[in-house]
Amino acid sequence: MPNETIRKPSIAIIGAGMTGILLSIRLAEMGIDDVTILEKKDDLGGTWRENTYPGVACDIPAHMYTYSFEPNPEWNYRFARGNEIQGYFKRVSDKYGVTPKIRFGEAVTNCSYNNGKWTINTSKQKTLVVDFVISATGILHHPAKPNIPGLDSFKGDCFHTAEWNHSVDLKGKRIGVIGTGSTAAQVIPELIAVGKKVSVFQRTPQWIVKVPDKRYSERDRKAWRKNPSIAKRLHRWYTIAVEETFSKAVIGKKLPHALMSFLCKWNLRFSVKDPVLRKKLTPDYRVGCKRVIVNSTFYEAIQKPNADLVTEGIEKITENGVVTKDGKLHELDVIVLATGFHPFNFMRPMNLTGRDGLKIDTVWERKVQAYRSMFIPGFPNFALMLGPNTPIGNFSVIAMSEVQTNYLMKMIRDWQENKFNEIDATPDAFQRFNAYLKSGMGKTVWLGGCNSWYLDADGDPAMWPYTWKQWEKEMNAPDYKDFALK
């Protein structure tokens, strides 16, 4: 269409993490420059800004965990450390002119829709009126603290892994770790290396697959700088490998699941020598029911003389340590909470109000759902990135964000071409889509006898139960029959 007929929308993006940066880049490519990114913290990077605990790394190979259009020749490890991932996002943000669009230290407190526009109020008492709001707040950014009696009475240092206290000297200390998920598997070996004694309080053992890490040489990086196509090939190879193994295993494909089960059980059998300890570390649920942990250091560390795996339940915490249900006091100097996040908060606690005063807390009071993981009826011209039932199980969230961003850009382009002013998923499409998801869950491993953060209050996994390829196909372009257009 002639340029004079193309409208230029104003757009607010909430969050300056990986997805917020991506959205800004794609919007700029479309010639849309009225973009504001509101970031509650004083730096960009999302989860890689928040998590600075010892051993923090991505469990997706680094060359897969990059934007498809921006390969990174500077990776130091196969599984990149948190600080170098944040450094990558900072470089990309600066290179593509995203950083000047970010308003740091400014959280969204209220967001409401009236007369075809969104009005945003921020923590700095500022107001912004825009055509579209895109929530890119991420999935895991509200730390979950355990409800253990006496937690506040502990006289030593106590902190969550996502709120790491770097001022605490851990050398020679008696350290307790509550939790054994992905984060714990990374941080526990680091603590065992410096602590006098490390007590790991395990409620549920985890399946762990060993994928060896690798330190890249300067020669490797020089080759990638000289020939970027090598890094792009690595990106494709790792993507195919993960898609054909992890991603198909968790949705119940027999051969991939059999392979994944064998690798996890083989790893446990041959990594842990003591049969008593091995039994304590053996889950009683199907491989993949909880997120499979990719790790090559935990089993070795937990067998060290200064490591103690405690499987008795926790009764309470006193000023001196943790008391387990057998009455034993585990005296500690430091408690580390590796207890994960609240996975269903998304953009909350901000107040989100749609058409006719509809509140997000009302819509999601009983169940957190969306159409295509992105759209909520009654909230026009609003998109939620990486929302419920995005295929987040052991795959690169960058790839997911790129698929959702491509989908959303086509929608915004149609708005620019005056095909509609307001777009809103219909209640019928919302119900049909979520029924379609539920019908596919029966064969997945997420219903395999465990209690994971994937499950909502009804026991339904907030996951994608079909293949990655099917998700990409269905997310190729909006089906406007499922939307009310004005």
So what's the pLDDT on residue 86?
97
Over residues 186-205, mean pLDDT: 97
| Whole-number pLDDT of residue 139 | 81
What's the whole-number average pLDDT of the chain?
94
Segment 77-93 shows an average pLDDT of: 97
Per-residue pLDDT band for 5 (boundaries 50, 70, 90) equals confident
Region of poorest pLDDT, from 98-102, 284-288, 328-332: 284-288
**Candidate from 58-72, 361-375, 444-458 with smallest mean pLDDT:** 444-458
pLDDT band at residue 457 using 50, 70 and 90 as cut-offs: confident
Residue 419 has which token pair?
């095909």
Residue 4: what pLDDT? Answer: 58
Output the pLDDT for position 116: 93
Instruction: Determine the pLDDT at residue 279.
Output: 98
In this model, does residue 198 exceed pLDDT 80? yes
For residue 215, how many other CB atoms are within 10 A of its CB? 9
Percent of the chain residues topping a pLDDT of 70: 99
Mean pLDDT of 86-99: 98
pLDDT tens-place string over residues 400-428? 999 999 999 999 999 999 999 999 999 99
Position 1 pLDDT exceeds 60? no
- 259-288 average pLDDT score: 96
Q: What is the pLDDT of residue 479?
A: 97
Q: Supply the pLDDT for residue 448.
A: 75
| Residue 35 binned pLDDT confidence (cut-offs 50, 70, 90) | very high
Maximum C-alpha span of the chain:
77
The bridge status of strand 35-38 relative to strand 102-103 is: parallel
Task: Grade residue 6 by pLDDT with cuts at 50, 70 and 90.
Answer: confident
pLDDT of 103 over the 70 cut = yes
- Calculate mean pLDDT across residues 341-359: 89
Residue 394: the pLDDT is 67
Residue 3 confidence (pLDDT): 58
Mean pLDDT of 343-358: 89
Neighbouring C-beta atoms of residue 83, cutoff 10 Å? 14
pLDDT score of 299 more than 90: yes
Of the listed ranges 63-77, 234-248, 261-275, 442-456, the least confidently predicted one is 442-456
Residue written as token pair 């490998």: 241
Is residue 37 within 8 Å of 104, Cβ to Cβ?
Answer: no
Kindly indicate the confidence band of residue 375, based on its pLDDT and cuts at 50, 70 and 90. Answer: very high
Which CA distances in Å does 448 have to 141, 288, 331? 26, 8, 36
Q: What is the pLDDT of residues 148-193, one digit of tens each?
A: 999 999 999 999 999 999 999 999 999 999 999 999 999 999 999 9
| Pairing assessment for the beta strands 334-337 and 157-160 based on DSSP bridges | parallel
Q: What is the pLDDT at residue 225?
A: 95
Q: Please report the pLDDT score of residue 452 as a whole number.
A: 80
pLDDT at residue number 316: 97
Burial class (CB in 10 A: 0-12, 13-18, 19+), 458: exposed
The predicted pLDDT at position 282 comes to 98
Find all residues with CB under 8 Å of 466, minimum gap 6, and list them.
Answer: 251, 440
**pLDDT value for 328:** 97
Q: What share of the chain is helix, strand, coil (3-state, %, to 5)?
A: 35, 20, 45
Question: How many whole angstroms separate alpha carbon 425 and alpha carbon 354?
Answer: 12
| Predicted local confidence at residue 329, as pLDDT | 98
